[in-house]
C-alpha cells in the first residue's frame, strides 16, 4: 500500500512539475515564434525592396539607351518611342513598389535598416535624373553608357549591396 501511495505521490509531483514547466516555457516559445515571424516579414520586405530597386535600375538604363538611340542614332529603330513609354511604365511600377516596401520598413524598423533604405532611395533618384543623359560626343554607341550614367549606376549598385548587407544583419 505504501508503494502504491508513493507511486501516486511521485506521479502527482511529476505531473505538477510538468504543468508548471510547460506554463513557464510556453511564453518563451511564443516569444521566439513571434521574433521568427518578425524576422521573416522583415526579410520578405527587404527582398522585395531589393528586387524592385534592381528592376528600377534596369528600366532606367533601358530608358537611357532607348532615349539616346532615338535622339542620336542615324538608324533609329521604329517603335523606339513606344518602347520608351513601356520602359517608363515599368520603371514607375518598380519605383512604386520600392516606395511601398520602404514604408513597410519604416513602420517595422530597425532604424539602421531604414537609414540604409533612405540612402538607396536617394541613389535611385540620382540615377533617375540621368535617364535622359546623352553621350558627351553626341554619337550613339549602345555598348557604352554616358559617363554620368555609369557613375550613377555604380553608386546605385553599391547602395543596393550596402542595403543588402544591413538587411542580412537584421534578418538572419
Rounded-to-integer distance, Cα 164 and Cα 158, Å: 10
Rounded-to-integer distance, Cα 49 and Cα 102, Å: 7
Note the pLDDT of residue 78. 74
> In which residue are the cell numbers 537584421 written?
170
pLDDT tens readout for residues 86-123: 999 999 999 999 999 999 999 988 999 999 999 999 99
CB 71: neighbour CB atoms within 10 A?
Answer: 14
Give the pLDDT band (50/70/90) at residue 1. Answer: low
Domain borders along the chain are: 2-171
Note the pLDDT of residue 16. 60
Instruction: Tell me how far CA of residue 30 lies from CA of 36, 75, 147, 159, in angstroms.
Output: 10, 65, 54, 36
Q: Which CATH architecture has domain 2-171?
A: Up-down Bundle (1.20)
pLDDT tens readout for residues 31-89: 777 888 888 999 999 999 999 999 999 999 999 998 888 888 777 677 778 888 999 99
Rounded-to-integer distance, Cα 96 and Cα 49, Å: 10
Amino acid at each position: 500500500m505504501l508503494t502504491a501511495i508513493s507511486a501516486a505521490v511521485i506521479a502527482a509531483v511529476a505531473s505538477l512539475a510538468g504543468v508548471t514547466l510547460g506554463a513557464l516555457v510556453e511564453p518563451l516559445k511564443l516569444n521566439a515564434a513571434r521574433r521568427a515571424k518578425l524576422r521573416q516579414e522583415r526579410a520578405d520586405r527587404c527582398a522585395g525592396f531589393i528586387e524592385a530597386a534592381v528592376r528600377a535600375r534596369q528600366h532606367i538604363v533601358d530608358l537611357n539607351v532607348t532615349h539616346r538611340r532615338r535622339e542620336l542614332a542615324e538608324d533609329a529603330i521604329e517603335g523606339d518611342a513606344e518602347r520608351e513609354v513601356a520602359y517608363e511604365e515599368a520603371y514607375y511600377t518598380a519605383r512604386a513598389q520600392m516606395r511601398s516596401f520602404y514604408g513597410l520598413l519604416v513602420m517595422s524598423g530597425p532604424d539602421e535598416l531604414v537609414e540604409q533604405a533612405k540612402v538607396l532611395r536617394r541613389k535611385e533618384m540620382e540615377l533617375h535624373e540621368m535617364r535622359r543623359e546623352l553621350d558627351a560626343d553626341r554619337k550613339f554607341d549602345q555598348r557604352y553608357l554616358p559617363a554620368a550614367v555609369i557613375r550613377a549606376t555604380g553608386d546605385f549598385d553599391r547602395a543596393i549591396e550596402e542595403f543588402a548587407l544591413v538587411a542580412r544583419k537584421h534578418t538572419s
